[in-house]
Structure formats: C-alpha cells, structure tokens
Amino acid sequence: MDISEIWSTVFSFQDYAEILPLVSNSLIAGALLGLVGGMIGIFVMLRDMAFAVHGIAELSFAGAAFALLIGTNVVLGSLVGSVLASLVLGLMGAAAKDRNSIIGVLMPFGLGLGILFLALYEGRSANKFGLLTGQIVAVDTVQLGLLAVCSVVVVVALIAMWRPLTFASVDPAVAAARGIPAGRLSVAFMVVLGLSVALSIQVVGALLVLALLITPAAAAIRVSSNPILTVSLSVAFAMTSVVGGILLALAGSLPISPYVTTISFLIYLVCRLIAWRRDKVRHSEKMAVVAA
C-alpha cells in the first residue's frame, strides 16, 4: 500500500454529505459520552484510578461479548459486566494497594472471557472488532435511549455527591474524621464509574476507553487549578475528541477509535505545552524579582 492509498483510507470525503445524517445517533451519543467522561474523569484523576478504568473496561468487554454471543442487547451486557466489576473493586479494594492487585487479577480474567465469547460467536467479524475498537454506526435508537438514561443517572449522581466526593478524594483521612462516609461514597462512585465505562465502550471500544475517561481530565488539570474551569475544560475536551473523532471517521474506512485517541492526545499535548510555557514565564518573573 503506497502513501496515497493510506491517505485515501484514512481520509476520503467522497459522499460525506450523504453519510453524515446516518450517524446522527452516534453524534448525540458522542456528545453525551463527552459530558459523562469529562465530569467523571476529574474524579478518576483525583483518586488515581486510571488502572481501575482499564480493569472495569475488560469486564465490561466480557459482558458485551457474552451479550453478542447470545443475541441480546450489547449495551446491557456491557453495563452488567461493568457494574459487577465496579462493585467487586468498590467492596474489596478500599486501599490502593489492594485495589490494584484485585484489578490485576480481574483484568486478564475478563479479557480471557471476552475472547472466549467472541471465539464462539459465529456472526459478522465487524461486530467482534467493534467491541474492541468502537463502531461509528453501532448506536441505534434503542441503544441511544439507554445511553441517554444512563448518562442522566451518572450526571445526577455525580452532582449529588460532588462536594463530599471531592473532599474524600483530596483528603480521605480528614474527610473520614469529619464524618463523611468515605466507604459508601467510594462504592457509589465505583458504580457510577462502571456505568460510564460501559457507555464509552460502545463508541470508542474496550481497548481505548482511557482516551475518553482519562486524557481529557488529565489535559484540563494541566492548564487550570480552578475547579469549575477544570471540569468545564475536561467536558469540552472530551466532547471535542468524541464528536470530532466521529466526524473524521466518516471520511475514512477505519474504526473510530484512532481518530478519537489522536484528537485526545493532541489536546493533551497542547495543554502540556501551555503548562510548560506558563511555568517557564512564572519562573522567569520570580527570578527577576529576586534579582531586583
């Protein structure tokens, strides 16, 4: 394959206007996932749970693969797998050390189950591949309704426990001393995180869910310490990554995930450069004051 063939595979805007209306459900789903991913990603970063996201994604993948095998709703199967994994992690892994070891045990088990179910599945190979890397046309009207309901549940739950969860995430010892039920909050957050992972897998796939739940929040934290601005930027970055990835994926014949992850990575790279430049200017100003 030469360069021109690679380029036409990645970007080909032929018949773009005719294809665009066909993915309206995916665009709406992408915007919802951007909102959910941007909000919950802040807490994932504060609680240092990036590894947990990956572990839940593997169990969610196993649930989705089993649903595909028996011919039921893939989103529902993904939700069941995610929530079960989240409950196990939330109830058994209060300490970070215990949590990581449990994730290390569950993750290969979930991946193995998922591969087993896909190996037994005799349908279209695109359905198998889509669970790992996402599908641009995977969201039908029924699934979009389920995604919308689950997104509302996640957003409402996060708003309801925002203040105590932030306190417990930043300083769990002081939060516990002041009577905040950190244990119950942790379990509730894990369930909400499981729902978010399950929702994200439908669009970006199990392998690359980190690009939606981690990277936007990590980028926002690099450029702002203001809580409201950080959450707003995280949501904006996540929405830009998903919706932009869907729009670009329409122009090629590749899965959506490479486009989403590339946009997300570029946003993170720009934010790191901005933070580096800002720190350099502040250091120079500080040295100038000292010299004066």
Per-residue model confidence (pLDDT) at position 93: 58
User: What sign for the dihedral angle of Cα 259, 264, 267, 272?
Assistant: negative
User: What sign for the dihedral angle of Cα 159, 243, 114, 94?
Assistant: negative
Residues 114-158 have pLDDT tens digits of 888 888 888 776 666 667 766 656 567 777 887 888 889 989 999
Out of 104-113, 125-134, 250-259, give the one with best mean pLDDT. Answer: 104-113
Per-residue model confidence (pLDDT) at position 65: 86
Do 212 and 235 contact (CB within 8 A), yes or no?
A: no
| DSSP state string for 103-153 | HHHHHHHHHHHHHHHHHH--S-HHHHHHHHH--TT---HHHHHHHHHHHHH
Please report which confidence band the pLDDT of residue 205 belongs to, taking 50, 70 and 90 as the band edges. confident
